[in-house]
């Protein structure tokens, strides 16, 4: 049984609390939350603390707070020489205070409070400075996920940037699609099978092969029809830039 505690009560922290609570290989010892009510529906009250002095030294302390707070939280821990890991995609392992042994436990996924998620499919990206710590993080990750990956700090930064493109920016494309539907009295639902298939396609085809549409065909007539149709200047600029990028990409192949 691995004993671990979680510091934080945001989206990632809450999903981790839920996942670890279900695992038979993990004992969730404490959850640190400034506002205990944010996690009181997930763990028994006696496990919730909001004072750093109450935090016990355990096998692994996971700091799952906003990027800016990681360094100062790691600095406020009252114990030393224990394994402490953060969950951020963009923060180096070095940001953690050196009085404890350092690690990273980064789940590569988009979390919304209101949406449940199957943790077993989520890639966990692991980093540590000592072999035994790395192995412990692997065991913790395996307890909740089928996809455990060794990813260094620089690779993790790359992955985080890539994640912004494939998830945050993609969702913004959905947002623009829904705005265009709304402005033309069309239900957004009509686009959903297309959205699903676009995501499914790249499970079997590389994105360059999956690419379709007027930009891919360099179909300037349709592109101009679309640009004339769009009245929102921001949408028009995004359309132009991404069309040019797809056309330029085609030339490189």
Under the criterion CB under 8 A, does residue 242 sit at the interface with its own copies? yes
Torsion sign, CA atoms 53, 57, 10, 102: positive
Q: Does 151 engage in binding with its own copies (CB under 8 A)?
A: yes
Cα distance between residue 218 and residue 224, in whole Å? 11
The residues in 3-22 that bind its own copies, with binding defined as CB under 8 A, are 11
Nearer to its own copies, 98 or 121 (CB): 121
Q: Is 78 in the site for its own copies (CB under 8 A)?
A: no
* CA pseudo-torsion sign 121, 155, 9, 174: negative
Contact 73, 132 (CB under 8 A): no
Stretch that binds its own copies, among 34-42, 50-58, 75-83, 203-211 (CB under 8 A): 203-211
Residue with Cβ nearer its own copies (40 or 90): 90
Q: By CB under 8 A, is residue 69 in contact with its own copies? A: no
Question: Does the protein bind its own copies through residue 41 (CB under 8 A)?
Answer: no
> By CB under 8 A, is residue 79 in contact with its own copies?
no
Question: Least distance (Å) from its own copies to the CB of residue 97?
Answer: 19
DSSP H stretches of helix in the chain: 11-22, 70-75, 131-144, 153-163, 170-183, 192-204, 207-210, 220-229, 233-252
90: Cβ contacts below 8 Å, ≥ 6 apart: 67, 156, 157, 160
Can you read off the two tokens belonging to residue 211? 């690419």
Q: What is the CA radius of gyration of the chain?
A: 22
Regarding 218 and contact with its own copies (CB under 8 A), the answer is no
Binding track over 161-200 against its own copies, x by CB under 8 A: xxxxxxxxxxxxxxxxxx-xx-xxxx-x-xxxxxxxxxxx
User: Cβ of residue 3: shortest distance to its own copies, in angstroms?
Assistant: 28
Please give the Cα distance from 87 to 84 (Å, whole number): 10
Question: Can residue 153 be called a binding residue for its own copies (CB under 8 A)?
Answer: no
Q: Find the binder of its own copies among 38, 40, 139, 149 (CB under 8 A).
A: 149
Phi, psi (rounded to 5 degrees) for 146 = -90, -5
Interaction residues for its own copies, span 105-124 (CB under 8 A)? 108-112, 114-115, 117, 121-123
Which pair of structure tokens corresponds to residue 236? 């028009």
């Amino acid at each position: 049984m691995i004993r671990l505690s979680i510091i934080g009560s945001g989206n990632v922290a809450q999903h981790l609390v839920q996942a670890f609570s279900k695992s038979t290989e993990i004992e969730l010892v404490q959850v640190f939350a400034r506002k205990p009510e944010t996690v009181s529906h997930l763990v028994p009250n006696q496990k919730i603390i909001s004072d750093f002095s109450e935090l016990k030294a355990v096998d692994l302390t996971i700091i799952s707070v906003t990027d800016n707070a990681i360094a100062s939280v790691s600095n406020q821990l009252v114990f030393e020489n224990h394994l402490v890991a953060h969950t951020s995609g963009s923060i180096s392992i070095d940001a953690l205070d050196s009085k404890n042994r350092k690690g990273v436990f980064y789940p590569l996924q988009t979390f919304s409070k209101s949406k449940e998620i199957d943790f077993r499919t989520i890639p966990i990206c692991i980093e540590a400075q000592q072999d035994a710590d790395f192995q412990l993080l692997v065991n913790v990750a395996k307890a909740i996920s089928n996809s455990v990956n060794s990813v260094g700090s620089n690779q993790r930064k790359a992955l985080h940037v890539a994640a912004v493109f494939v998830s945050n920016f993609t969702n913004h494309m959905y947002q623009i699609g829904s705005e265009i539907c709304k402005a033309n009295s069309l239900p957004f639902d009509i686009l959903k099978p297309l959205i699903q298939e676009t995501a499914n396609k790249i499970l079997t085809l590389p994105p360059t092969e999956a690419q379709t549409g007027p930009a891919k065909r360099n179909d300037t007539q349709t592109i101009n029809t679309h640009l004339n149709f769009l009245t929102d200047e921001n949408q028009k600029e995004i359309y132009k830039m991404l069309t040019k990028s797809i056309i330029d990409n085609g030339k490189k192949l």
